[in-house]
Amino acid sequence: MSRVRAAMGELAALLGDYTLRTVALGAAVLGLLGGTLGTFAVLRRQSLLSDALAHATLPGVVIGFLLTGTTSGSGLMLGAAATAALAAGLVLVVVQRTRVKQDAALALVLSVFFGAGTVLLTYVAGTGASGQSGLDRFVLGQAASLVAADVRAMAAATAVALAVVALTYKELKLVAFDPAFARAVGYPVRRVEALLTVLLVVAIVVGIQTVGVVLVAALLITPAAAARQWTDRLAVMIVLAALIGALSGAAGAVLSATTTDLPTGPLVVLVATAVLVLSLPARRLRVRAGARRAAVGEAA
């Protein structure tokens, strides 16, 4: 009993820490957004697109710094969004106008943009420019640098993205499951696909400060993949993925705070991965249960 009380006391002390509350809330908001939008990426088999767009933000971050001279403010985020959008456009052009397949185009864009970002980072480090401190945190993330203003901005972006998903849910659902039928009945499939890409860019830009360009795609895909094991209904999958993402974010932040020198971003991804591993048997159990119900129905 005394151990339980001691553990509860330690948890209360942790939650009373301003930095931990800020980081945990920011990571939870990011996980919620990532799980929601990652659902559509998983269903449309666009996991590699998410990874390519995430890596494509790195040169934009550095260009944003070169233009503004500071690692704070919106300049870096706008630069990241611009290069991610450029990468998405390049993939579309390459696939439509050449014989290169989409997976190859995504791999090329990922490599080229991340390589360009690494070169730019090295260049900035060599110039000794003032204000560059913390610029490299966007590679692997530094959740501890989050402040209340960052969390408010993340929450605002998340609210807007979730509102867009709610308003266009029917269109997103149809395009995610049967784009050919959606096109045949007159839905603007390309516009819906472009909207999904924009929403993915928003989620990636929101998350790069917390988990970095290398890991942010994992926070988009892993909660959705875990949720997929539990249900075949889109609405339920979205809610489950959002909850898994939010809980993984908060849990990763708490684990980071209780362990010395372990970064928050990778811990968040590892927690989400652990949930995915534990969820893998669920789909097989659901299939077996469905088969048993079908057998009982036929026997009756």
Mean per-residue pLDDT, 288-299 = 62
pLDDT over 90, % of the chain: 34
- Decide if pLDDT at 55 tops 80: yes
User: Residue with structure tokens 């909660």?
Assistant: 223
- Decide if pLDDT at 298 tops 60: no
Query: How does DSSP classify residue 143?
Result: G
- Cβ-based neighbour number of residue 7 at 10 Å: 10
pLDDT digits (tens, 9 = 90+) for 232-276: 899 999 999 999 999 999 998 888 877 766 788 888 999 999 999
From the number of C-beta atoms within 10 Å of its C-beta (0-12, 13-18, 19+), residue 206 rates as buried
Cβ proximity of 243 and 35 under 8 Å: yes
Question: Which tokens is 230 given?
Answer: 């539990």
What's the pLDDT at 72? 72
What's the pLDDT at 4? 55
Helix or strand holding residue 125 (H, E): helix 102-127
pLDDT digits (tens, 9 = 90+) for 269-281: 999 999 999 998 8
